């Protein structure tokens, strides 16, 4: 599977990365179809809906290979489709919803996005304001979703919205929303990195969808999303391991060739000690990530480790990015794209991971949570 994935990356992605980065967009349907045809968008999904019916370890192998794509935007888009948008639908959705939304997502015919964050609520998921109000057999949706990956090209959104007046953890539902529904408008967000990724601000104004588009139980959306975040954390980390390897090895090659003061940059002890240290840290992260995946596949609660690896992956990616950027001096090339995108993967919610560690018993005062 990794070999198949590597072939797609080598033939259909890496040669075009610089062009897509410059355009600030990549052809998501064209790229996803390649992965869909190879079975990689439904590795852990049921064969009844076009999946391969394998466990998360096989997903992990492919996710790690995606880290060899020479930018951050394209693998992020694929990982969103593989592990962040369809997990709840696959687990809790009705047969009708799965046929309508999951089957084409697995086949690579549909691009999917996840609508959780809002302009006023990113880390604070419980506080989101988007409302989906019942009207007969329909829901009427009003609100906004912000920083939504894949959203400008997406065929449907897995939307988290408030569907009742209950408390903030019991009033939310996940809803399949076709992105061509009347009342949806989209605005592209320009970013400092991950340029090829399609990130949008999405407005919902009296958008009408059937109430049967709610995934699973009405009111269980917050819980489903928290469970879906588990795979998101592992996916994000797995996608960074090979990216970090790549940045380090290209930096080693470059600093070996580049001369200053009569010797290679790499010949300075500080430089090779630092690169060796960062490579060691990435191997430690890899080992902990595999342990997390094993626990998850074994059916154990992997929330604590999944939170730890995502925190460490973000921190390490930023450290590798900062360090290697200095070693490259003023030379800008494709590796630099990856370095900057590595930095961007440090999404700003470290406090959430610390909170989770406390809840899961790492902190001496854990009983207070």
* Contact (CB, 8 A) for 194 and 337: no
Q: Give how far Cα 185 sits from Cα of 145, 305, 316, 319, Å.
A: 11, 38, 37, 37
Instruction: For tokens 């003023």, name the residue.
Output: 330
Rounded distance between C-alpha atoms, residue 73 and residue 2, angstroms: 20
CB of 157 to ligand FAD, least distance (A): 9
Site string for ligand FAD, 197-226 (x = CB under 6 A): --x---------------------------
Alpha-carbon span 231 to 57, nearest angstrom:
11
Residue 148 binds ligand FAD, judged by CB under 6 A: yes
**β-pairing verdict for 184-188 and 199-210:** antiparallel
Q: Does the footprint of ligand FAD cover residue 105 (CB under 6 A)? A: no
Element (H, E) at 146: strand 138-149
Q: Tell me the C-alpha distance between 308 and 350, whole Å.
A: 10
Out of 232, 250, 277, 283, the active site residue is 232
Q: How far is the CB of 153 from ligand FAD (least distance, A)?
A: 13
Confirm or reject binding of residue 350 to ligand FAD (CB under 6 A).
yes
> How far, in Å, CA of 254 to CA of 328, rounded?
7
DSSP state of 345: T
Distance CA 262, CA 141 (A): 66
94 binds ligand FAD (CB under 6 A): no
Nearest 10 degrees: Cα torsion 218, 223, 224, 228: 160
* Choice between 72 and 216, CB closer to ligand FAD: 72
Tell whether residue 130 is a contact of ligand FAD (CB under 6 A).
Answer: no
Nearest-10 Cα torsion for 8, 155, 107, 196: 10
- From candidates 68, 117, 237, 282, binder to ligand FAD by CB under 6 A: 117
Report in angstroms how near the CB of residue 73 gets to ligand FAD at its nearest. 8
Q: Is 232 among the residues known to form the active site? A: yes
Residue number, 112 or 320, with CB nearest to ligand FAD: 112
If the CB atoms of residues 121 and 256 are measured against ligand FAD, the closer one turns out to be 121
Site for ligand FAD (CB under 6 A): which residue of 144, 194, 218, 251? Answer: 194
- Residue from 122, 178, 183, 210 binding ligand FAD (CB under 6 A): 122
Q: Is 254 in the site for ligand FAD (CB under 6 A)?
A: no
By C-beta, is 3 or 192 nearer to ligand FAD?
192
- Span from 146-154, 209-217, 273-281, 308-316 in contact with ligand FAD (CB under 6 A): 146-154
**By the rule CB under 6 A, 317 interacts with ligand FAD:** no
Q: How far is the CB of 43 from ligand FAD (least distance, A)?
A: 20
Judged by CB under 6 A, the residue of 90, 100, 149, 303 near ligand FAD is 149
293 vs 340 by CB, closer to ligand FAD: 340
Exposed e or buried b for every residue in 105-135, given b needs 16+ CB within 10 A? bbbbebbbbbbbbbeeebeebeebebbbeee
In the complex, which residues of this chain contact ligand FAD (CB under 6 A)?
80, 113-117, 122-124, 147-149, 194, 199, 344, 347-351
Point out the residues that are catalytic: 232
């Amino acid at each position: 599977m990794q070999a198949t994935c590597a072939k797609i990356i080598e033939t259909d992605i890496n040669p075009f990365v610089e062009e897509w980065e410059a355009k600030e967009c990549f052809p998501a349907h064209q790229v996803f179809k390649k992965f869909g045809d190879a079975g990689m968008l439904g590795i852990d999904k049921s064969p009844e809906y076009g999946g391969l019916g394998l466990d998360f370890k096989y997903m992990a192998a492919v996710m790690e290979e995606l880290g060899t794509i020479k930018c951050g935007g394209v693998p992020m888009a694929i990982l969103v489709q593989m592990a962040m948008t369809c997990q709840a639908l696959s687990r809790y959705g009705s047969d009708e919803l799965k046929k309508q939304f999951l089957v084409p997502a697995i086949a690579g015919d549909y691009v999917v996005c996840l609508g959780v964050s809002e302009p006023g609520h990113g880390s604070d998921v419980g506080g989101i304001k988007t409302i989906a109000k019942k009207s007969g057999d329909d829901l009427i949706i009003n609100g906004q979703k912000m920083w939504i990956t894949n959203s400008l090209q997406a065929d449907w959104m897995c939307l988290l919205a408030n569907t009742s007046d209950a408390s903030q953890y019991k009033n939310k539902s996940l809803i399949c929303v076709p992105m061509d529904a009347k009342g949806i408008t989209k605005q592209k967000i320009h970013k400092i990195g991950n340029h090829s990724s399609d990130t949008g601000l999405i407005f919902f104004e009296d958008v009408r969808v059937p109430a049967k588009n709610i995934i699973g139980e009405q009111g269980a959306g917050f819980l489903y999303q928290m469970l879906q975040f588990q795979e998101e954390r592992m996916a994000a980390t797995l996608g960074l391991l090979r990216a970090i390897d790549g940045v380090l090895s290209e930096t080693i090659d470059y600093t070996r060739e580049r001369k200053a003061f009569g010797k290679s940059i790499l010949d300075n002890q500080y430089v090779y000690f630092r690169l060796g240290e960062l490579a060691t840290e990435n191997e430690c992260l890899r080992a902990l990530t595999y342990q997390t995946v094993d626990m998850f596949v074994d059916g154990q609660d992997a929330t604590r480790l999944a939170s730890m690896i995502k925190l460490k992956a973000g921190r390490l990616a930023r450290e590798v990015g900062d360090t290697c950027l200095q070693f490259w001096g003023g030379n800008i090339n494709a590796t630099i794209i990856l370095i900057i995108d590595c930095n961007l993967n440090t999404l700003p919610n470290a406090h959430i991971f610390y909170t989770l560690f406390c809840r899961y018993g790492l902190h001496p005062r854990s009983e207070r949570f």
